[in-house]
């Protein structure tokens, strides 16, 4: 597709989305027609291709990243001589594939992989020929696996907010009513062969969210592999946070220091990772999901209060298309949304500030402090999603204003004393299998290797 055609398509798509957002009935009809038409096209063109037994197709976050459990599984397989000669294919969005290509250079993590652009002819050919699909999000609704193909659904975190069939609030936010969400979740769940799980709690929630107990149209329901999260192997034995250095090290001696240097972080200050989820109600046809103004931190106030000791790393959800303007906070707030793997940000951080994101469960593996920022708590709980559990049960301080966040930051030296025991119990409940060996157990279950 030429640049001109791509620009025209994006403009047309924005116009259509803006129209369909206001007309749910027309949107449902359009989707059903579009999915059916695309599925017939896919089957005519691609389903006749032979499945290659030793080919694996990987994708993370709808092609927006090289990260998560697909990354962990891929890197383990590439390093394993038992998979020598296998073909590995990674899918990336058009706007991401140039950055991903840099990782294919000699010695890079993707040097043993083929890259395809999501939605291209090569992408659909890869879907049709790969024996194994390893993803952490949904496939296009019109792409179905053949009976001999294996779909490994890794998903991307233990949910605090309700998902799919568990959303009890009727909403027409963004481009999905609650009924449409359930329909689209059901389409994807019917394709799965395996579902990875880090805990019994997770297995229960995802089974309910995707209504897995009701599946009967596919040869069999997906098998839940409850062996831990491969993506959390890197966190299971996470070292203590970097100790701030008075001067930049000439030759950083450990991985944490090297990561801080690569991210451009000052070595003499601690790091607060701010990682927030998206909001169904913050969709704009021209920009996708955006930051709601009422949910923003006052970075100027934070800088004045804690800037001498701390810096802030801002990490947006992969569905959020806008970026914060940090020009006035250049030496305090750093944009980290383009870092592929959030695990790197966990490892360089000294504390986490989050809202309703699943990062709070993964971060428990580090046994470091978490603070919660919930300025829209009532709205989120009663009008957008609702929760699987009472957020008050989470270990850490809950804040609704920047002032409260600053107060929580100034008392972090007593955080472990106040919440440490609760955090250990929390980790045992939600991360009991994250012991650094989950990737090996999962590979054995799927590939028999």
Percent of residues, the chain, with pLDDT higher than 70: 87
Average pLDDT of every residue of the chain: 89
Inform me whether the pLDDT recorded for 441 exceeds 90: yes
3-232+436-447 in CATH: which number? 3.40.50.11820
In tens, the pLDDT along 258-276 reads 888 888 899 889 999 999 9
Domain(s) labelled CATH 3.40.50.11820 in the chain stretch across: 3-232+436-447
Domain(s) labelled CATH 3.40.50.12580 in the chain stretch across: 234-430
Residue with tokens 């994101």: 357
Range with the poorest average pLDDT among 7-16, 32-41, 259-268, 400-409: 7-16
Average pLDDT in the 432-448 region? 96
CATH fold group of domain 234-430: Rossmann fold (3.40.50)
Inform me whether the pLDDT recorded for 397 exceeds 90: yes
Average pLDDT in the 282-292 region? 61
What is the pTM assigned to this prediction? 0.91
User: How do beta strands 288-289 and 283-284 pair?
Assistant: antiparallel
Average pLDDT in the 283-305 region? 75
Q: What is the pLDDT of residue 252?
A: 45
Q: What is the pLDDT of residue 269?
A: 93
Inform me whether the pLDDT recorded for 317 exceeds 80: no
């Amino acid at each position: 597709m030429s640049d001109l055609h791509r620009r025209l398509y994006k403009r047309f798509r924005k116009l259509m989305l803006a129209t369909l957002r206001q007309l749910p009935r027309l949107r449902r009809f359009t989707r059903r027609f579009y999915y059916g038409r695309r599925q017939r096209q896919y089957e005519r063109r691609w389903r006749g291709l032979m499945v290659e037994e030793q080919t694996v197709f990987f994708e993370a976050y709808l092609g927006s990243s090289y990260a998560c459990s697909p990354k962990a599984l891929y890197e383990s397989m590439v390093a394993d001589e038992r998979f020598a000669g296998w073909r590995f294919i990674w899918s990336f969005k058009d706007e991401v594939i140039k950055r991903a290509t840099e990782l294919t250079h000699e010695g890079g993590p993707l040097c043993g992989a083929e890259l395809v652009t999501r939605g291209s002819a090569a992408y659909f050919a890869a879907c049709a020929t790969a024996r194994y699909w390893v993803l952490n999000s949904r496939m296009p609704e019109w792409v179905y696996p053949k009976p001999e193909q294996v779909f490994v659904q890794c998903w991307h975190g233990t949910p605090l907010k309700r998902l799919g069939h568990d959303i009890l609030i009727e909403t027409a936010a963004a481009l999905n009513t609650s009924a449409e969400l359930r329909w689209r979740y059901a389409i994807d769940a019917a394709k799965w062969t395996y579902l990875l799980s880090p805990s019994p709690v997770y297995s229960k929630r995802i089974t309910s969210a995707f209504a897995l107990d009701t599946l009967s149209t596919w040869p069999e329901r997906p098998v839940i592999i409850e062996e831990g999260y491969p993506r959390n192997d890197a966190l299971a034995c996470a070292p203590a946070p970097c100790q701030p250095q008075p001067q930049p090290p000439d030759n950083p001696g450990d991985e944490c220091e090297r990561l801080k240097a690569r991210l451009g972080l000052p070595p003499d200050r601690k790091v607060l990772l701010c990682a927030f989820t998206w909001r169904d109600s913050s969709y704009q046809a021209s920009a996708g999901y955006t930051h709601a103004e009422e949910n923003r931190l006052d970075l100027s106030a934070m800088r004045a209060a804690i800037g001498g000791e701390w810096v802030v790393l801002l990490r947006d959800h992969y569905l959020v298309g806008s970026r914060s303007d940090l020009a006035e906070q250049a030496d305090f707030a750093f944009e980290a949304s383009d870092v592929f793997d959030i695990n790197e940000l966990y490892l360089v951080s000294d504390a986490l500030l989050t809202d309703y994101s699943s990062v709070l469960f993964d971060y428990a593996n580090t046994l470091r402090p978490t603070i919660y920022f919930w300025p829209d708590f009532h709205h989120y709980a009663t009008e957008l999603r609702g929760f699987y559990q009472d957020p008050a049960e989470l270990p850490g301080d809950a804040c609704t204003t920047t002032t409260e966040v600053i107060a929580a930051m100034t008392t972090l030296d007593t955080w472990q004393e106040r919440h440490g025991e609760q955090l250990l119990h929390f980790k045992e409940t939600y991360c009991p299998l994250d012991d650094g060996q989950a990737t090996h157990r999962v590979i054995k279950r799927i590939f028999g290797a």
